Structure 1
Amino acid sequence: MPSEKETTPPLHISISGSDAEGHETPKTPRSSSGWDGKLRVEKKLELANPEALSDPEYSDDENVVPGETIDADEDLLDDYPLDTEEIDCVHARISSISSLKLERFTSVTRLCLRQNSITDIEALSCLASTLTDLDLYDNLIAHIRNLESLVKLTNLDLSFNKIKHIKHISHLVNLTDLYFVQNKIGTIENLEGLTKLRNLELAANRIREIKGLETLVGLEELWFGKNKITEMKGLDSLQNLKIISIQSNRIREISGLENLPQLEELYISHNALTTFEGLEHVTSLRVLDVSNNQISSLKGIEHLKELEELWASYNKIADFAEVETVLGDKKKLNTVYFEGNPLQLRGPTLYRNKVRLSLPQVMQIDASKSCSCLLVRGQS
């Protein structure tokens, strides 16, 4: 969630177990890089300002909860040398950036003020000549302001705040990574000119329509999980796009991918898909996640010769013969997830062996690695 920035462990790890009544809980699929295809945020994240998410009116200016003010005789940055390049103050109960007296530092390239009670972006112009990375994740910021001088920024993280409108950043033409995860944004706007932007994260907002991306020609990763999007469109100009994440939306069909020749990863789980139609021109796809939809047939992905991972858990796929016919010739395919489909539920004890027989090249079946070397062909 995909960003969440969002880092992922390099191993295949699955989460499984039993609930209070002894029922087995669904296993979580992971990509070869370890990402589970969900929002790109830490699973056990403890927010400093959880009320910003739980109270629907919390984004109103009059409801801002005052943070704790740093005492005049307290200097959180006293131990930092004046020529330090990085300042990292996480969960330090900071309510005002100006109280940090950043003007004394001459070489700061990265400023991280995560999980504080900051309400206003301010007092940063003194770092304009050096600052490239600004991280204000999980604060109480409602408005994007006072970034006019920070033209060297390449990374800006304003995730987990209470921002409703994207404003005053189009002049930050050197941005490569921009994060707005879990805010209250309803419209993609005011991003014109950010031609160097490589990664845009807008997961967990209130977006209903994909638009305003036409000038972002350098974009390679686009993260839209957990919004209210009903149609995939507005992507034609993004010729360099390699990753699209649009899980947990309201998509009924795959569309808008005709002009994306570089697309390698598509995460579209937890929607309302019934077929694979719409992938005809996406020949470079390596990872496809369609888990938790209503797909009953694998028809439509025969041409995906580069496919390495197919996550299709909790759909309506029932035919083992079709699995072999459609996927058997894909030599690079190493991971499949079919758990929760009729082909697994009808005969769970024989399910894995049947998948191995159909797809001997596959090394990962659901949460467990396949031991193809021990399989005797002809075993049912």
Structure 2
Amino acid sequence: MTEQESAPHSERDPAAPVDAKETRDEDKEDHKPRDSNGWDGKLRIDKMSLTDEPRDPHAQVVSDPEVSDDEGPPPEQLAADEDLLDDTPEDEEEIELVHCKISDMTSLRLERFKQMKRLCLRQNRIESIAIPPDSAPTLTEIDLYDNLIAHIKGLDAFTELTSLDLSFNKIKHIKRLSHLTKLKDLYFVQNKISTIENLEGLSNLRQIELGANRVREIQGLETLTALEELWLGKNKITEIKGLDTLSNLKILSIQSNRLHTITGLENLTNLEELHISHNLLTELSGLDNNTNLRVIDISANPIEHLGGLKSLKHLTEFWASNCKLSDYAEIERELRDKEELETVYFEGNPLQRSQPALYRNKVRLALPQVVQIDASEFAFFPISPILVARRGNNMNIY
């Protein structure tokens, strides 16, 4: 994997809009973490707000400051007689108006488009959802990312929806969605949601993104038995729980929370990716039943020793940058038997900072199956026996 920018749809500075749909489309084929110091391609967050150093597990957590919704001058409005869709054929199936200063959806006269399947009005100034009910029989995707919506209303007729994106709005409560039983993808990134609720009827939901909200407790997900991806990064969660019924879950992203231990994953035997960086973990444990895990990201946790990985025979990527690891022998003991392991990240650990010139060779000697260390890939070639000498279980590089 090459290092890129970085779930989930992961995060950005709200003051600098980013086209997250493009990122999401790419991530349908690749859910791998992209940067060991950041996120996994799903949620967009200002990386400057994340320290690369592991957090002090005893430090007092300070709540995020509240921001007033009323700050700033009133937005510029479009002329009342301007028709942004004047040149759009009435048989068009996809309507997309991005960053067009739209504040009133009724002015778009969407009832003209009898075959509309997808409506994308991201990065506008819409405060309320006003889509003509006549569009309900054909409309399957609504994207209102980055607007000014505070309440979920106006969707009563849209029972054919399979995808709904309300990310980067001002929503505090999840309401009036239980009738959307065909929903597969639901996005609430960067809102003001504190409670996961009112999702009981969404039995076909495949993924839900709740990153960058105010969630303190994992709850209200018990009936979502088809769920495969759960994105909860950058919240205020202190414990992993409430996931026992999600036996189909493949990806769990819970970075930048307040977790001290890994618990509550015993029933998630189909889990393939666990993104749990930027928490307060001091050890790896609780993963004995998760034998299908392929990707683990524990970066930026105050972990000093590796352990708890014995049962994970199918690991392909192990991300542990900016922890407190100092022992190459531990790395070899825990990971050398992972025959499918291709990528490891250990940059920023004491073992890398203490001998940076020898770091990569030592990792390669401990894990000869690996083809990528940190951001660098390398071709297979033997390490010179002149440089390396083994004495029992010890290794020396000269």
Aligned partners of 1:99, 1:345: CA distance in 2, in Å? 59
The corresponding residue for 2:58 is none
The corresponding residue for 2:36 is 29
Equivalent of 1:249 in 257, 265, 270: 257
| Cα contact 1:276–1:300 (8 A) shared by 2 | yes
The corresponding residue for 1:323 is 331
Q: 3-state SS of the aligned residue for 1:349?
A: coil
- Alignment CA distance shift 1:321-1:42 (3 Å): closer
Identity across matched positions, percent: 57
Q: 3-state SS of the aligned residue for 1:72?
A: coil
- Alignment CA distance shift 1:73-1:54 (3 Å): farther
| Cα contact 2:250–2:273 (8 A) shared by 1 | yes
Equivalent of 2:372 in 352, 356, 364: 364
Structure 2: 5+ residue stretches without partners:
1-6, 11-20, 48-63, 389-396
The corresponding residue for 1:2 is 8
- Alignment CA distance shift 1:42-1:299 (3 Å): closer
- Alignment CA distance shift 1:288-1:13 (3 Å): closer
Q: Name which structure has the greater RCO, CA cutoff 8 Å, separation 6+.
A: 2
Aligned partners of 2:205, 2:314: CA distance in 1, in Å? 27
RMSD: 2.5
TM-score normalised according to structure 1 size: 0.87
Amino acid corresponding to residue 352 of structure 1 in structure 2? R
- Alignment CA distance shift 1:222-1:190 (3 Å): same
| Cα contact 1:68–1:117 (8 A) shared by 2 | no
| Cα contact 2:36–2:320 (8 A) shared by 1 | no
Aligned partners of 2:32, 2:216: CA distance in 1, in Å? 33
Structure 2 residue 152 is matched with structure 1 residue 167: no
Amino acid corresponding to residue 3 of structure 1 in structure 2? H
TM-score normalised according to structure 2 size: 0.84
Amino acid corresponding to residue 40 of structure 1 in structure 2? L
Structure 2 residue 150 is matched with structure 1 residue 146: no
**How far does the alpha carbon of each residue in 1:261-311 deviate from its partner, in whole angstroms, 9 at most, with x for none?**
110000000000011111111100000000000111111012110000000
Equivalent of 1:271 in 279, 288, 310: 279
**How far does the alpha carbon of each residue in 1:37-94 deviate from its partner, in whole angstroms, 9 at most, with x for none?**
26523879xxxxxxxx996221xxx779754443232110011101100000000110
Matches within 5 A, 1:110-149: 110-149=118-157
Equivalent of 2:302 in 294, 300, 308: 294
1:126 CA drift (Å): 2.1
Structure 1: 5+ residue stretches without partners:
16-27, 45-52
Amino acid corresponding to residue 334 of structure 2 in structure 1? V
**How far does the alpha carbon of each residue in 1:291-338 deviate from its partner, in whole angstroms, 9 at most, with x for none?**
000111111012110000000011111111111111111110000011
Structure 2 residue 67 is matched with structure 1 residue 56: yes
Structure 2 residue 206 is matched with structure 1 residue 203: no
| Cα contact 2:324–2:349 (8 A) shared by 1 | yes
Q: 3-state SS of the aligned residue for 2:208?
A: strand
| Cα contact 2:9–2:41 (8 A) shared by 1 | no
Amino acid corresponding to residue 249 of structure 2 in structure 1? L
Aligned partners of 1:103, 1:70: CA distance in 2, in Å? 20
1:2 CA drift (Å): 3.0
**How far does the alpha carbon of each residue in 1:217-249 deviate from its partner, in whole angstroms, 9 at most, with x for none?**
100000000000000000001010000000000
